[in-house]
Structure 1
Amino acid sequence: MPHPGAPSIGDNGTVTTAEPTSPASTERATTTRRGTVMSVAGLATSVLIAALTVVPSPYAVGGAGPTFDTLGEADGVPLVEISGAPTFDSTGELRLTTVSVSRAGSQPFTLGRVLAAWASPRQYVVPQEEVFGTPGEEEAAEEQAQVDWITSQESATVSALEALGHPVPATMLVAGTADGSRAEGLLLEGDVIVAIDGGAVDTFDELAEAVGARSPGDEIAVTVEREGAEVTETFATLDDDGDAVIGVYVDPTFDLPIDVTVQIDSVGGPSAGLMFSLGIMDRLTEVDELAGARVAGTGTIDTTGDVGPIGGIRMKLYGAADAGAAWFLAPIENCADVRGNIPDGLNVVAVDTLDDAYEAITRIGAGDTAGLPGC
């Protein structure tokens, strides 16, 4: 007969005990199991942390990029160099802001970095395809960014001169008609627009004003030069959010009275247009608009002086603050992105046109900032 408490072996080969386990042994077993679980969990956490630090992530991480003072110099050369007209010095700064975007492959970063960026108000994270496109699209996107960069410089020059009261003559070539345009079949590719309703239009701004003076649906007479002769076609305007448009793609060639050279080759896209325009205006006017003030900003600009929205404005706000700017000019259409994201010490002014922006920097320089529109 087995001794009480001795283990016995059953028919199936399992080992059992004849008496209940003591409290002390139960505690030891529980402690052992807990230790095993914690060891496994710790190992899993270590593996996860290791993976986060070494596994590349298919995301793009964006943050504040460098800023450039359009009134300053780079290696002793003016960042924005103007020839063909007298220029004047300024005691302030007009900083264009940029966004720097990196991705796995361009430099080593990991899922851990992506998660840290996602949690930071100073950075943003998106799938890298949203920024760079597919491999076949990336090169085309980079080329387009450079085209936009160059075009924005021309638009900035034209809008600055027009705002200062210097009309810029332009040859306005018809490049095609939009879908649904009443001008289809009437205005032909290669035509040159010379008059609206019998009044000569010599600048792109005059063309925009003449068409904009009509109401959507109004008949409009457009005179073009075609094969050495003038032809006038009459058709109805279209409605573009309440504004009259003729539904024609116009490719203007400007006869600029000055040459503007920009000494930056590391920036792409159109978002520096506003700060270029303001820099040109400041350099061409004898008055010191800023009087030492540091102003940063962003926004596209077209040849009529309209300021357009841009991407990445939250990052640009931080870049401006890091560069020591006290004021930031933001496109009014970006205000929803600005609210709640303004760094301490930075004041934001919402602008809709180049005239708005020029008035803002003049008032900032004069210390007359009460009532400037914010976001």
Structure 2
Amino acid sequence: MSRRSLTLLIAGFATLVAIAVAVLVPVPYVILGPGPTLNTLGESGGQPLITIIGRKTYPTVGNLNMVTVSYQGGPGANLNIFQALRAWLDPSEAVVPESELFPPGQTAQQSLAQDTEEMASSQQTATAAALTVLHIPYQTQVVVMQTVPGTPASKVLKAGDVVTAVDGKPVTGATNLSSLITSHPAGTLLQLTVLRDGKTLQLSVRSENSGGTPIIGVEVQEEYKFPFTVKISVGDIGGPSAGMMFALGIIDKLTQLNLTGGKFIAGTGEITSAGQVEPIGGIQQKMVGARDAGATIFLAPAGNCSDTAGAVPAGLRVVKVSTLSGAISDLEAIKAGKPVPSC
């Protein structure tokens, strides 16, 4: 065999090996793309996306669409360099490090469970936010999810405990509980009123110092008791970012506001029970999905405005929102032909 032929053979073999490695060896990235979009005023799976039982509701028109992001890759999925390069060249997709979406060591099953839990929590928080804006009273409970091993709370509190008061002062929310603890210096003996298995207990916990902040070592979650039933059905979609659109859909059904004015409006944003709209991920892909579905107006968290620069699809108007009440005011202004803040 000639030297030239041998060189070509070796080069060809090396190329085949390089291609095989590129195809078979996964890269630590995730491809984000536009996902499904659902009208919170419409149906999902043949039933109303939002069902309200025990309270008068009103007819609605138009669209208040929640938007989602689809992804390729992640725990348990193989994404090769060619797939990543193709997505990088597609303006409707984004390639991001896997670590930005999934904590190291998290399995696909754990990720799905977390997304499902976040969706369920966002639905409850959205209902609380809607009722807060409408001045409809409801109860908030602060429930112990778990205690941190080795901390004072680990010896006293249990998962499922409802903390109702600290030193006789009512606990009205997770932030309020933290304030009641940190309002005393570390080492203070706190008297907690706790509801456990239907019984009220008085428990003593001494706080300790952690990075200059008094703590007792407990992780809690807010749970709500509403005066009527709100059911939200979105199938297997997960995550917390549809909270604002759920809240707007609930408000539109409970009032005669007619928030859309018949327009196709979409949006995104995590919501707090107090009505604050928090930034989310994948907003560029969500805008593409919204426009493809027919939306002409997109409600975006103020914290995401910088992410929309240069990425707004033609024909889509992006409105900047910071609070749920502000979003309502903006929609009313749009109906009246008045200016609204934009990104």
User: Fold-level match, TM-score > 0.5?
Assistant: yes
Matched letter for residue 86 of structure 2: A
Tell which deviates more after alignment, 64-73 or 228-237: 228-237
Report what 2:85 is aligned to.
115
Normalising by the residue count of structure 2, what TM-score does the alignment of the two structures yield?
A: 0.75
User: Aligned pair 1:336/2:302, yes or no?
Assistant: no
Q: Are residues 186 and 64 of structure 1, via their aligned partners in 2, closer, same or farther at CA, if it must alter by over 3 Å? A: same
Equivalent residue runs for 1:26-41 within 5 Å: none
2:142 to 153, 172, 177: 172
Offset at residue 256 of structure 1 (A): 2.2
- Corresponding residue number in structure 1 for 2:122: 152
Within a 5 Å distance, the mapping from 1:187-226 to structure 2 comes to: 188-189=157-158, 192-195=162-165, 200=170, 206-207=172-173, 217=183, 224-225=193-194
Q: Which amino acid aligns with 1:172?
A: V
**1:299 corresponding residue in structure 2:** 269
CA contact (8 A) 2:75 2:107 kept: no
Distance 1:115-1:259 versus aligned 2 partners, 3 A rule: same
The counterpart of 2:290, out of the listed 290, 303, 320, is: 320
Deviation at 1:174, TM superposition (A): 3.9
Query: Equivalents in 2 of 1:229, 1:130: separation in Å?
Result: 42
Alignment partners' CA distance in 2, 1:277 and 1:110: 39
Q: Relative to 1, partners in 2 of residues 1:109 and 1:198: Cα closer, same or farther, differing over 3 Å?
A: closer
Alignment partners' CA distance in 2, 1:129 and 1:57: 18
SS at match of 1:260: strand
**Correspondence list, 1:1-375, <5 A:** 55=23, 58-59=26-27, 60-74=30-44, 76-103=46-73, 111-126=81-96, 131=101, 137-175=107-145, 188-189=157-158, 192-195=162-165, 200=170, 206-207=172-173, 217=183, 224-225=193-194, 228=199, 231=202, 248-370=218-340, 372=341, 374-375=342-343
Q: CA deviation at 1:195?
A: 4.0
Instruction: Report the 3-state secondary structure (helix = DSSP H, G, I; strand = E; otherwise coil) of the residue aligned with 1:155.
Output: helix
Alpha-carbon distance between aligned partners in 1 of 2:293 and 2:318, rounded to the nearest angstrom? 15
> 2:26 is matched by which residue type in structure 1?
P
CA contact (8 A) 2:141 2:223 kept: yes
Residue pair 2:242, 2:268 contacting (<8 A) in 1 also:
yes
Structure 2 segments unaligned to the other structure (5+ residues): none
**1:176-222 deviation line (CA, Å, top 9, x unaligned):** 567999x8589744654334675545xxxx44685698897567987
**Whole-Å Cα distance in 2 between the matches of residues 97 and 58 of structure 1?**
29
The count of residues paired between Structure 1 and Structure 2 equals 322
Shift of 1:64: 0.8
Moved more, 90-99 or 104-113: 104-113
In structure 2, the CA distance between the partners of 1:180 and 1:165, relative to structure 1 (3 Å rule), is farther
CA shift digits 1:327-360 (9 cap, x unpaired): 2122222223222322222222222222222222
- For structure 1, which runs of at least 5 residues remain unmatched after alignment? 1-35
Residues 114 and 125 of structure 1 are in contact (CA less than 8 Å); yes or no, is this contact kept in structure 2?
yes
Cα pair distance change 1:166/1:57, threshold 3 Å: farther
Secondary structure of the corresponding residue to residue 193 of structure 1:
strand
Distance in 2 of aligned mates of 1:299 and 1:176: 27
Check 1:113–1:250 CA distance in 2 against 1; reply closer, same or farther (3 A cut).
closer
Q: Distance in 1 between matches of 2:100 and 2:204?
A: 43
Q: Bigger shift: 78-87 or 230-239?
A: 230-239
2-side partners of 1:178 and 1:133: how far apart?
20
How many angstroms does 1:236 deviate by?
A: 8.8
TM-score of the two chains, using structure 1 as the length reference: 0.69
| Structure 1 residue 291, shift from structure 2 partner | 0.8
CA contact (8 A) 1:297 1:330 kept: yes
Q: Kindly, what percent of the aligned residue pairs are identical?
A: 36
The structure with the larger Rg is: 1
- CA change 1:343–1:180 in 2 (3 A) is farther
| Residues 299-335 of structure 1 deviation map (CA, whole Å, 9 limit, x = unaligned) | 1123232322221111111111212212212222222
Q: RMSD of aligned C-alpha atoms?
A: 4.3
- The SS at the match of 1:66 is strand
What are the Cα deviations for residues 16-64 of structure 1, in whole angstroms up to 9, with x where unaligned? xxxxxxxxxxxxxxxxxxxx9xxx8xx98xx79x959x93673532211
State the 1:171 CA deviation. Answer: 3.3
Judge conservation of contact 2:127–2:230 (CA < 8 Å) in 1. Answer: yes
